[in-house]
Amino acid sequence: MFEEPYRWMEAVSTRHNYVQEKLKMGQPVLSVPYDDGVLIMGFSPQPGKIFEVYDRIALGGVGHPADVERLRMTLLDMAHLEGFNRSAQDVTLARLLQFGIAPALKQNFEEIQRAPYIICLLLVELDGAGHPNFFRVNYDGHWETFKSGTVIAGNEKVMDEVQKKIQDTPFATFTLDKALEETCRLWAESRKQYEEDDKSIPMTLKEAFDQWYFEAAVLSGKVERRAIYRALTKEEIGKLKSSVG
């Protein structure tokens, strides 16, 4: 009987190690402010890294695609239910996280008989006053909030280093074009932390654009309509490729 708490703690520790090992090659997703709103971007071997959640909320994911999709649908259902029962203005990330997704993730992780989610999520919103809010959510339900932008990645060292550079860069004063160029540069710098002999991982921006999918979207503060999310156009991506290539 007295050994059971220790067995549970050992099992939880093993789950942490298991998920971190599965996530370690997850490629960074960055989200930063710019002078007209918020940018979220990333590269991946297959599409499905960046999504719209609600009118003023976007999601970026690292981890198992099925787990990212399941949590995206959970957030989507919660947001629409909240908007229906209360109002669209009451749908905020703080409420969705604190009273919804974070407790569910924590419960799932601590129930040893269930498979843990293999995910790390980046959530961003542009509130009614035009102020961006950035959140990072871990697989065990722990979440953090940031004011000047944030990043998620499977490699914690990469995540910490890119986060520091984001905080030291005045992204809020940049145009969208400049913010795109700078986030691509930070993404390229993060490649140095990965194994250079792994040929499946692009080591330069040119290789990333050629071999992987580039996904990027913005929440624009100057759009009059309620839904302010939009994916970057092919023309914008083409212009970016030529400027950073």
Answer left, alpha or beta for residue 10, where phi above 0 means left and psi between -120 and 50 means alpha: alpha
Asked whether residue 19 is domain-assigned, the answer is: no
Sheet containing 132-137: order of strands: 50-54, 57-63, 119-126, 132-137, 143-146
Which long-range contacts does 88-96 make (Cβ < 8 Å, 24+ apart)?
A: 88/54, 88/55, 88/226, 89/128, 91/54, 91/55, 91/57, 92/125, 92/127, 93/57, 93/123, 93/124, 93/125, 93/133, 93/135, 94/133, 94/145, 96/57
CATH number reported for the structural domain that contains residue 182 in this entry: 3.60.20.10
Asked whether residue 30 is domain-assigned, the answer is: yes
- Length of the chain as a residue count: 245
Asked whether residue 10 is domain-assigned, the answer is: no
Instruction: Count Cα atoms within 13 angstroms, Cβ side, for 113.
Output: 0
Distance CA 206, CA 50 (A): 21
Asked whether residue 9 is domain-assigned, the answer is: no
**What are the CA-CA distances from residue 117 to residues 2, 71, 175, 209 (Å)?**
29, 9, 36, 29
Asked whether residue 12 is domain-assigned, the answer is: no
Distance CA 203, CA 236 (A): 23
Instruction: Count Cα atoms within 13 angstroms, Cβ side, for 151.
Output: 26
Asked whether residue 14 is domain-assigned, the answer is: no
**Digit-coded pLDDT (tens) for 77-107:** 999 988 888 888 888 899 999 988 999 999 9
**Digit-coded pLDDT (tens) for 122-133:** 999 998 788 899
Contact 162, 190 (CB under 8 A): yes
Q: Is the pLDDT of residue 199 over 70?
A: no
Asked whether residue 7 is domain-assigned, the answer is: no
Query: How many domains are there within the chain?
Result: 1
Domain range enclosing 61: 26-244
Asked whether residue 3 is domain-assigned, the answer is: no
- Using 50, 70 and 90 to split pLDDT, how confident is the model at 200? confident
Q: Which helix (H) or strand (E) holds 96?
A: helix 93-96
Q: Is the pTM of this model over 0.85?
A: yes
